[in-house]
Amino acid sequence: MKHVYLDNAATTRVRDEVISKMQDALANNYGNPSSTHSYGRTAKTAIESARKTIAKYMNALPSEIIFTSGGTEADNMIIRSAVKDCGVKTIITSKIEHHAVLHTVEEMEQSGLVDVLYVRLDQVGNPDLEHLQELLQKDSSKKLVSLMHVNNEIGNLLDIKQVAKMCKEHGALFHSDSVQSIGHYAWDVKEVPVDFLAAAAHKFHGPKGIGFAFIRKNSGLKCLISGGSQERGFRAGTESFHNIVGLEEAFVLAYDHLEKEQKYVKDLKSYFIEKVKKEIPQAKFNGLSGNLEKSTYTLANVCLPITPEKGLMLLFHLDIKGIACSKGSACQSGSDSGSHVLNEILSGEDLKRPSLRFSFSKYNTKEEIDYTVEVLKEFTQK
């Protein structure tokens, strides 16, 4: 049986170089970074080196990079602290954000801490920037805008520079869940005046359980997790040293090889789109995922011409054939409610048909795509 992994938007294979760096850290650098002896100082120095490295690639200050357990924690830290510490009374977001954002703002609204406004979406899932402008002008309350740079299900790219500019003009804070973006696109936080970003290492061939928040200097945010003074007081708790050095290695490799790997993966996606259109002409690409210029090069979301009854067996059939993909975000697996993203943008008829997300990486090949599309074709024609 072949084994084809096309679920890279959920998580990626860890690079061999990253594994080696982490193994060395686990075996030889086991001191607590808060300890004052040589073992602790060695670990602390490596953590601060990783912070400086990431900051340099993003044109940020080292003090603006705060290590977290991943994107979900970073999103929660930023949103909750913005309300608690910065006087935010209104949050503007969209209904197709990651649940790390949606569930957090819903909970805060239910607690009476903020009002939540949702920007309208067009039929392919893009936020209506004219409506965003209206919401920013709605009243004089302190606002936080939270819109993701790359949608994790349909791949749409936000005009993040324009949104950041609009927020700045209206005195609003701007947070972007950039988990599907950092490690795949170059970032310059001086050029794009975003206030807060969230990143996760396992989306760019690093380890799970580690990520970081970019928190712009003088934003006013304070700690969310109390205890020790780690992470400049933003996040208490003993640092996950081996994961941090793994994150640094994955981050450096991602950006040192960015242009080459972008081209390779974009060519794979282009090939996948062409094959699907040729072999399964009735298939549709959801959102803008079939557009190579207006969506991320890393994923495609396909609505297949299959009955709902037959669709129930699709993922099982692909798994039997050794193909890994997903019907939406891995974070909502096990849910019977379907994709909240597709529920917002698809017609009732298309919602009845199965949609799958295929996401690509440097480790995939055209031969794997040939095999995957052939399996899909055979299943749809049965």
pLDDT bracket for residue 288 (50, 70, 90): very high
> Average pLDDT for residues 124-144, to the nearest whole number?
97
| Cα angle, residue 283 at apex, residues 277 and 287 outer, rounded to 5° | 100
- The confidence score (pLDDT) of residue 338 equals 83
Rounded to whole angstroms, what are the CA distances from 201 to 47, 97, 189, 223?
A: 15, 19, 19, 22
What are the structure tokens assigned to 282, written together? 């009735």
pLDDT at 231 over 60: yes
Whether 182 shows a pLDDT value over 80: the answer reads yes
Q: How far apart are CA 30 and CA 7, in angstroms?
A: 33
Least confident of 74-78, 143-147, 180-184, 224-228: 224-228
Average pLDDT, the chain: 95
Q: Indicate the helix (H) or strand (E) that contains 63.
A: none
pLDDT tens digits for 40-54?
A: 999 999 999 999 999
Contacts of 300 (CB under 8 A, 6+ apart): 155, 269, 272, 273, 276, 285, 289, 290, 357, 358, 359
Closest CA to 297 of 336, 259, 268: 268
Positive or negative, the Cα torsion across 50, 53, 57, 61? positive
Mean of the pLDDT values across residues 241-262? 98
Distance between first and last Cα of the chain: 21
Give CA–CA dist 205/207, Å, rounded: 7
Cα-based angle 16, 42, 47 (whole degrees, multiple of 5): 60
DSSP per-residue string spanning 96-125: TS-HHHHHHHHHHHHTTS-EEEE--B-TTS
Residue given tokens 């804070």 in the structure block: 173
Coil, strand or helix: which one is 144? strand
4-12+258-381: CATH topology: Aspartate Aminotransferase, domain 1 (3.90.1150)
Separation between Cα atoms, residue 335 and residue 264, nearest integer Å: 34
Residues in contact with 231: Cβ distance below 8 Å, sequence separation at least 6, in sequence order: 66, 67, 239
CA distance 2 to 167: 49
Q: Is the pLDDT of residue 251 over 80?
A: yes
Residues catalogued as catalytic:
331
In this model, does residue 179 exceed pLDDT 80?
yes
The pLDDT value recorded for residue 233 is: 82
- Binned at pLDDT 50, 70 and 90, residue 337 comes out as low
Task: Give Cβ neighbours of residue 311 (< 8 Å, ≥ 6 apart).
Answer: 304, 353, 354
16-256 is a CATH 3.10.20.90 domain: no
* Arithmetic mean of pLDDT, 338-356: 94
Are residues 224 and 235 in contact, defined by beta-carbon separation less than 8 angstroms? Answer: yes
Mean pLDDT of 64-84: 97
Q: Identical fold at 4-12+258-381 and 16-256? A: no
pLDDT at position 67 over 60: yes
Every domain of the chain and the residues it spans: 4-12+258-381, 16-256
Q: What is the DSSP string of 285-315?
A: E-TTTT-TTTB-TTEEEEE-S--HHHHTTHH
**pLDDT at site 228:** 86
pLDDT of residue 222: 87
Whether 331 shows a pLDDT value over 60: the answer reads: no
Percent of the chain scoring above 90 in pLDDT = 92
Q: Are the beta carbons of 366 and 268 closer than 8 angstroms? A: yes
Q: What is the pLDDT of residue 240?
A: 95
Sorting pLDDT into bands at 50, 70 and 90, what band is 80?
Answer: very high
What's the angle, vertex CA 300, arms to CA 295 and CA 301, rounded to 5?
Answer: 110
Identify the weakest region by mean pLDDT among 75-79, 115-119, 336-340, 367-371: 336-340
Mapped onto helix, strand or coil, the DSSP state of residue 31 is coil
